[in-house]
Structure formats: C-alpha cells, structure tokens
Chains A and B, each alone.
Chain A
Amino acid sequence: MPAGRSRATTTSSTSAGGHVEIVELTKSFGETLAVDGISISIEAGEFFSLLGPSGCGKTTTLRMVAGFEEPTSGAILLDGKDVARLAPNKRNVNTVFQSYALFPFLNVADNVAFGLKYQSLGRSEVSQRVGEALDLVQLAGYERRRPGQLSGGQQQRVALARALVLKPAVLLLDEPLGALDAKLRRALQVELKALQERVGVTFLYVTHDQEEALTMSDRLAVMSTGHIAQLGTPREVYEEPADAYVADFLGVSNLMEATVIRSGTDSSPCQLQIGEFHLEAECGVLSATGAVKLAIRPERVQLKPYDEPGQNRVPGMVERVVFLGSASQVIVRLAPGETLQSLVHNDGELVAFQQGSAVNVLLPPDALRVLPGGGASVAEIREETYGDQPDLAAVASPGAP
C-alpha cells in the first residue's frame, strides 16, 4: 500500500469492516468467574483498548475473541457473524502475543509468510505480500534474519507483520510493549498508532499501562474483576471518571473521603465537608448524599499562600517537593489528614513552597469531582493499586501528558 494513502481510512485494503460486537460475554474457570457478562461495541477501524490490572479479565476477553478460550455464555459478533465458538484458525482475526511467539526455527520472511500458506497463493504473490508487510513495519531487508538475532522491538514488528499480512478484520494485541524499555515503548506507541491509521484495521489492545491506553486509543474500557467499570474516550475516562476505582487507576486522583452537607443540582454546586472544612463541587454525581469520595487531578490543585483567604481552600503543610524536570510535584498534607499531590508547572521561577512550609490548598469547584461513596474505602483502593507501599501513592507518576 503506497504511503500516500495514509489519510484515507475507508478505502484501505482490509477485507471486511472489522466491526466487533461483544454481547454479554461470560467466562468462568470452574468456580472462578473471570469475565462477568461484558458487552462492548467496537467500530470498524477503531483503536480500542481494554485497560485494567492483572486479573481483571482483559486478557481472557481477548483470548475469547481470538478463539483460544471458549466462552461460558455470550456472543462475539464479527461483522454480524457470531464467531464465539468458531475455531481460531477460522476467524478473520489475528493476534500479536505478549511474547511475540515468533517461530525460532524460521527466518523472518518465513515467519511472516506462515499464515499465507493456508490461503493458496502463488509463490511470487507470497513474497510480494511479505515484502509489503515488512515495508509496513520498516523491516525491509531483514528477511533472512532469525528471530534470535533480532532485538525486542524488531521482534515485535515481525509479529505485527506476520499478523497484518493476512489482512485481518481485527488485530488483537496482548500487552505487546510490556517487555520493552520505556523509551522504546514510547516510540513504538507512536508507530503503532500511525500504523493502525494507515492500515485501517480494528485494533483491540490489552494493557495495564494507563498511559499507553490513554495516548493510543480512540476509546477504551477500564475493567475490574471481570466487569467494565467505565467505557469511553480517553478524555471522558480521565476527566469524568465514573467512580473512585477508575479515577484512581488513571493517573493520580487525589482521592478523599467527604460528607455531603447539601446535594447539588445542575445549577447549584454540591456542598461538602472534609473534617471541619467546607467545599463546593460542581462535577460528578452532584445528587449524591451521605458519605462520598472526592477526586481532583493534581494539575488542577492550586497552592496559595497560607494567609490568603478564599473559597474552597484547605490549609495544609508541604511534606515534600519532587523536581520532575518540566514540573514539580508538591506533596501536601491537609489539615484534616489527607495527603494530596499538586503538579506545579515549571515556568522558570522557583517553587515558592519549600518543604515544611504552610500553604492554603485551593480546590477549584469546577475541578473537584464527586464520586459515589460506596465500595472500597480510599485506603483499600490505594492498597490495591500500590500494594503495601502506600508511600508510593504520594509520588506516583502524573497522568497522561
């Protein structure tokens, strides 16, 4: 496919559309319920991610779409046809495995050509398609190499070429960048996204790295213990998390527990109380009552001088300042006891607040989000994400750039 066609999406040479519809898909292994009746609708040509921690069911879902696991119930519709119980070699779906699974006894060209043998093509056409696929992943000239002689990033590209050469309707990717170092990972994220746009194939991408999911996806589903916590575009999921779990999974959420004094409506903000401090919030589940959770992104937390009064301010003390280069992370302990993270951009001036100084923390109402109160407590959510090192919660890396 000539590079000039990269802008057009609908005329790419994929076979069918690639519209995937997952309907109430359930999978249980004996007693354990791995996937609990999820339903997703993925548009043709979309880059869709399943995001979640290990054990949430995302890989099981992927394997069911690929055909390596048989669902306990539910349907997987590929362009209208239910493939849930179809053998994996009969689906127009290909997979890029986490370990790449390149056949070590074949060279690169033979690896890529492996699936073409089942399509009864002539030899010249096979080598032409192989050449195209290798061009696509920028590995032209590597035909004779063996997988053992390639770097991790190169192996991953061969795996991609091997899958894409068969022109599938959907490409499944199982944490393909997990084994690579950070810099290579960022570079490949960009390449993968560009590749997907050029080829126009639907990508179903599984990852536990929220940064990856946010940067690459058109839409994503945040999963937790077998069900979907929230499904939406990256901006929606980040700015408007549906609950505390989603909020905390995607970047730092500065979760706090609070009590509603007076519920809000569409026109009036919600009045809340933390300790003895009064706050107003204008986002989230404004009609909630009783005990709720509050979330605010660190880039929206503002630090004001201690003696400056105003709305929505809570006094606190700076525990630590971490210099990140383009910004500084300021860890503040509020008077009621919570620890918040504030991200202060580096605009050339020194951060005014040194370790140990007192500040007033401004939580703007239009950035303060009310989340449903039930479920795990803040401490439990912290523990699930950061294990037995709660201090890490305070210095977790900021959200998507």
Chain B
Amino acid sequence: MATVAVPPNKASSRRKGPWRHPWGLEAFTWIYLIWSIVPIGIAVLFSFNRGKSQSAFQGLSLRWYTGTSQAFGSVMHDPILHSAVVQTLKLGFFVTLITIPLGVGFAIGIDRWRGRTSNGLNLVMIFSFVVPELLLAVALMFVFLQLLKFVHLGTDAETAALIVWNISWPAIIVRARLVTIGKVYEEAAADLGASRFSAMWRVLLPLLIPAIFASAVLTFASVVDDFVLVEQLSGPGSQTMSVLIYSQAHGGNNGPALNALATLMLVFSLVVAGLGYVAYRFMTRGERGSTTEALTSIAGI
C-alpha cells in the first residue's frame, strides 16, 4: 500500500463548508425567544409597579399584591380579586381531582378493550380535543339551560364542562405511555402470582405514575388558564382570574392589579409544573432517562 502524503491541516479548526453552524437560524431562534418571553417579563415587572400606570415604570412595590389601600384594590384585600383567585384554585383542584381518575381509567380501559365500541369512544375523545372551545361552550350552555336544568350555571356547570374539555389530557398521555409499556409487566406480575386487580394496582399504576403526574400538571394549568368555557357558563360569584382579567382589560383601561393577578396565575402554574417535574424525577429515579424526557412529558409531547 502506498502511503499518501497528507497536506498540512489548515490553521482554522472551525467547522467550515457543509457542516458549519447555522448562525442565521440561531439568531432567528433567539429573536423569537426574546419576542416570546420578554413581554411577559415586562408584564410581571409591572405587577410590582408602585404607580398605577402600566406603561411607565415607577419603582418597585408589593401594593398590588398585599396593599391595604382602599382606593386601589390589591389581590389579597380586594374582595373581587380575592374571590377570583379562590375560585380559580378551587376549580383547578377539583377539576383535576376528578378528571385524572376518569381519564386514566378511560385510557386503560380503551387500550385493552378491543372492539367497535371502544374505537368509537376513542374517536369521541379525540374529537373533544379538536373541536373549538366556543362551540363546545355553546353546546353545553344549551344543555344546562334546556335539558339538565339541575346543573346550575356557575361553579357546577364550569366544573362539568372543564372536566370534559380536559379529559383528553390524561386519556391521550396515559394511553401513549400504555402503548410503550406493553403487556409484559402485567404478565410477569401474573406469572408471579398476582390477580388481575393486584397486577394493575401493584405494577401497572406505578408504571403509569409519571404519565399520570404529567397529565395532572397539564390539566391543572389548563383549568387555571381556561377562559371560554368559564365565561360562557358563569353564574353569580363564580368569576375566575381569567374572566376577571378579560372583563377589565378591554381597550387597556386597567391597573397593575390585573398584572398581579396574571402573575399569580403564572406562579400557580409554574409551582405545579415544578412539583410535577420533581415528582416525576423522584418516581423515575434509577430508571434510565434524561432531563429532556422529563420536560417533554410534562409538556405533554
């Protein structure tokens, strides 16, 4: 074999030519990220504004959160703002509490129960995910006004609506995870002596806990954020934070108290997301995985 003289390496070791780094794309991405996040940061900042303006920053203060001034309401002391926070959290917890078992049971049942009916139900569930929220709100409003009159508009109606609107979160996420898990773990459990209940309780549910957690977190955030259903089905005293912000934010005539409210909503969602992430990592400790996986499953991908 003849040896080939290798020309000396060029001075620059930076990757050039076909494999060069796409700086254009990276800049574009960063511009997007800034455009996406910075306005929110500004809004959060203004919730700490000393003055009443939302366009001129006048110094830091917590007055919109905890201030006791009678003239300008704060979240903690203004009854309307305060009750909105309470109502939002109430809805968030109750709806999540009911939706998750319904959705998880639905996912497990539909996955194992082969047949026309189960396929049909699955289709219905996917449709509930795809239909525009306004149309569902219209439909539910008529149901509660014309047919199921015992369900009063207000918290009851909102709860029922939010459950059906969000049931696709656990149904889809848990179903996807079930497909990955397969039958083998339950078979192993049966082989070792478990009855079908025991196999599901001791093996399947622990395996599903990450997916259940992820879908619970997403459901909570979605309920806290929800606007259309709550507004259309609202009754006396059942205003949530979203609805309050909406009703007072038309045309820009509002105060930083709304920013405070919105910031609180953000905090709630982030706290729950953070808890979910921590719980997910805890549950899956020792299993091979990565941060990226945890994040993507929390986001419902």
Residues of A with Cβ closer than 8 Å to B?
66-68, 87-89, 93-95, 97, 99, 101, 103-105, 107, 114-115, 117-119, 145-149, 162-163, 166
Contact = CB atoms under 8 A, between A and B. Distances in A.
A88 B285 contact: no
Nearest to A92: B193
A148 B287 contact: yes
Given A89-B190, A118-B193, A162-B192, A149 B286 contact: yes
18 contacts: A68-B187, A89-B192, A89-B194, A95-B191, A97-B187, A97-B188, A101-B184, A101-B187, A103-B206, A105-B283, A107-B286, A114-B202, A115-B193, A117-B193, A148-B287, A162-B192, A166-B192, A166-B193
A204 B203 CA distance: 26
Interface of B: 184-185, 187-195, 198, 202-203, 206-207, 209, 283-288
B207 to A, nearest CB: 7
B190 A88 contact: yes
A97 B192 CA distance: 12
Contacts of A146: 285-287
Contact of A89 (B193, B209, B285, B287): B193
A148 B194 contact: no
Nearest to B285: A146
A145 B287 CA distance: 11
Among all A-B residue pairs, the 4 with the closest Cβ atoms: A146-B286, A115-B192, A118-B193, A101-B188
A117 B287 CA distance: 24
Interface of B is mostly: helix
Given A89-B193, A114-B189, A148-B287, 6 more contacts: A88-B190, A88-B191, A93-B191, A95-B191, A115-B193, A163-B191
Contacts of B185: 101, 103
Contacts of B187: 66, 68, 88, 95, 97, 101
A94 B191 contact: yes
Q: Which of A67, A101, A107, A119 has the most C-beta atoms of chain B within 10 angstroms of its own C-beta?
A: A101
A58 to B, nearest CB: 17
Contact of B192 (A68, A87, A105, A118): A118
A149 to B, nearest CB: 6
Nearest to B193: A118
Contacts of A107: 286
A103 B286 contact: no
B25 to A, nearest CB: 36
